[in-house]
Structures are given as C-alpha cells and as structure tokens.
Structure 1
Amino acid sequence: MSVSMPQKRYYRQRAHSNPMADHTFDYPLCPEEMDWSQLYPEFFSGPGNASAKAGARVEFADIGCGYGGLLVELSLLFPNQLILGLEIRVKVSDYVQDRIRSLRVAESGRYQNIACLRSNAMKYLPNYFAKGQALVYTMTDVEEVHLWMVKHFSEHPLFTRVTEEELADDIIVSRLGTCTEEGKKVQRNGGKNHLAVFRRVED
C-alpha cells in the first residue's frame, strides 16, 4: 500500500523546550490508572495471549524521543514489547504520532507496539511508570552533560552503573547513536557520543 509519510519540514520546532514552563498535559494520577490500550489498540486487541496482554506494560521509554528514530528501530527488534516515546515539543510529538500512524497503515501488523506521548518527563514520569522499572541509557554529544549525568546517577543510592563488559552484547547500545536524528547529526559533524548505562538497584 502506498502511504504518504509525514514530512519533517512541516513539523520543525526549536531544538529545546523549557521543562519548567507552564505547559498543560493530561496524565494519569498513578501508573495503575494508565490505560495503555488507547495508545496500542491493535497490540491489545490482536491475536495472542489475552491475559498476558492485559498485564502488559511499557518496557522501553525513550525520553525526549525527538523524531522517533529509536522508537521505529526498537519496534522491529522487540515486536512483543511495548515501547513509548515521550517528547515535550508539540510539533515534534505530532510528527512522531503521525509517523507511527502512517507506518502502521503502510506495513500491516507492524509498529503496533510503539507510541508517542507529549509529556514532561521531569514532572510526570512517576505517573506512568511503576517503581523499579528502570534500566537507564544516557547518551549525549556534550561531554559536560555526560559527566553531569554520570555524577548524579553514580551518587544516587538506587542506581549502579552497568560495566562496558556487560554492554558488549547489548543490541540497543549500537543503535543509540545511529538511528536518531541527533545521533546522525553528530556523526556527520565528526562529533562523539558519550554513553553511560545505569541499572535500578533492587530494594
């Protein structure tokens, strides 16, 4: 089927949005009140184990998902797991939502496990995700930001850094800097992406 994909030039917006600004968002009061079937209707209604689907929850969250490159990449790698992008910018989140809708129509049966929400992760992440779900991948081409994130995660008692040896076979790591628009821009400009991964410590 020939489907017209959304064009980025119609969704352009400033690279950053102030997370402290007074935005208006709809969000659940707690993770238990989130109805994921609204975002993944075919995933929940399609063939398969109904009881397992009823208890399904998001396993991957791309915070600041940009134009959705990583979501699309992960969708085919993990077709049986729910993947969510969170993006604060209006036009950019609109683009990702339109992109996902177009992909679902163009390739029937695929991309039913990804979705995008416009939200402020700094404020509302605990409203969507239950305690203890986090394996956190951080990547940036700004070394100062990388060092800041490493410092604060390392000092936090609930996280421990995942070693390079443990990440050797991680199929996500190799794609973080290559499938997103920002990652591709860094590569074109000869820059370097800085990666650090942290695991939530069991209580």
Structure 2
Amino acid sequence: MADTGQARAEMVDRQIAARGIRDERLLAAMREVPRDLFVGEERSAHAHDDSALPIAAGQTISQPYIVAAMIEAARVGRDDRVLEIGAGSGYAAAVMGRLAREVHAVERLAELAELAAGRMAGLGYANVHIHQGDGTGGWPDAAPFDAILVSAAGPDVPQPLIEQLAPGGRLVMPVGGGHVQSLVRVTRDAAGAVAREKLDDVCFVPLIGAHGWPER
C-alpha cells in the first residue's frame, strides 16, 4: 500500500507551499486530511495529482492548490464559523474543519451529500456538518458566518450569501460563465459595507440554483 502520508506531504510541499501558500495551519491541515478517501477508490492512486479529478455524480474535486488558495484567501481562523457551498466529496470542508470551530457545507446533489457525510463520520470530523439542498440561498439556520467559500461559479455573488456574512466576514467564490471565471473575494466590514476584489482566473463547474445558473 502506498504511503499516503508521504504523498500528502509531497503534495503540500511541491504543489501548495512552493506556489506561495504561507498559512502554516492550512498547510498542516492539508498534510493531515486523507485526500485519497475523498476521490473514490478507483482514483485513489491519483488523489495527490496536481489537477482536478472526477468524482461521483459527474462532478469534480478541485486541484489541491486551488483548494488551498481559496481557503487562505478566506482567512479561516480557529474561532470561525464557516459555510461552504458546493461540498462535492467534502474534501475542502474537511480541511476547513481542521482550521475552524464549525463548518456547514451544502451540497445540491443528494448522492454527494450522503457520501460526504459518511466520510466526516468515518473520520470523526464532528464539527463538519453536511447538508443537502440549494446552497445558493446559503444556510440561514446557522448564519451568520465568518467565512463563506463557494466551490462553483455563479453569474454573480448570490445576495443571500452576502447577507449571511458576519461583520468582518470574507466570502470567496468564482464568478462568471464560460471556461474561465474570476475568483473574487467579498468582505463585509463592521458597519455592513461590502467590498469586492478580483484574486485570479479560475475554472469551475457552474453553480446551479435559485441564485445561480438554471439547471440544464
């Protein structure tokens, strides 16, 4: 059996730290979370590749560096309550669960939500809660959130997500259609004023839902 711990360490060193990710807590979390358990047994040999990979239900798990870059951009802290939209296999939520007090992750597809919830239970990640539903409306029952990550590209930042940001909160998501989108960060100050900045060009699956793209 391959040494997955060594593979994770090499993934973090070569793909993530070498590209400028400096948050030591984040790097440690990505060395800890067993990425191979989140890609499916048939692709576990490629779990630490420098690329996105297919997962169940025709979806993808993001490239390790992109996961790290989004989490670092959201500045996830120890006491934060975090919301992720588009949980997929649950990998990013699991990483953030090692960093934050509590994580709520919403997945539209029931098959993926069930698999992700099972992985959290199996790993003992009790502070990560997987919900099935339309994440474009956020998760009002647990709002407000200190950080929100959206792992799919919408036509714009959904207003319900902005409204669920706590004062001082940060939201990171890809925005736009087509093959290339803009990764943006939205911040909300103590007075409620919202600012927005572009971070990078990225490529994500579309965000489907009432405040995203219509299902085709």
Whose strand proportion is higher, 1 or 2?
A: 2
Bigger Cα Rg:
1
Q: TM-score, normalised by structure 2?
A: 0.40
TM-score (norm: length of structure 1) = 0.42
